[in-house]
Amino acid sequence: MITSMTRQKIAITLPEEQVAAARRAVAEGRSPSVSAYISQALARRSADEDLADTLAEIYAESGPPTDADRTWARRALGLPE
C-alpha cells in the first residue's frame, strides 16, 4: 500500500462499470476510498509492468522456460501438471 507519497488530486473519466466496482469495494470494506482503490490498481499495473520487464531480461539472457522447467515449477508450487 502506498503510504508516504505526496498526493495530487486529478479528475479522470472511467467506464460506469469501473466506477461501480470501485464504489462496491469501498462499500464492502475492501478499500478505504475510491481514490485508494484506483491508486492500488495503478500500483499493481506498475508492478506487473516491472515483472514483465524482468521476465523479458531473463528470457533475453537464457531463453524462455522449457517444458521441463515448467513441469518442475508446477511441481514445486504444488500445481497440477
Contact status, residue 69 vs residue 62, Cβ threshold 8 Å: no
Can you spell out the DSSP letters for 25-41?
Answer: HHHTTSSS-HHHHHHHH
User: In which residue are the cell numbers 470501485 written?
Assistant: 22
The per-residue pLDDT for range 19-76, each reduced to its tens digit, is 999 999 999 999 999 999 999 999 999 999 999 999 999 999 999 999 999 999 999 9
Report the share of the chain in percent with pLDDT over 90.
90
The per-residue pLDDT for range 3-34, each reduced to its tens digit, is 667 889 999 999 999 999 999 999 999 999 99
Where does 1-81 have alpha helices with state H?
A: 16-27, 34-62, 67-76
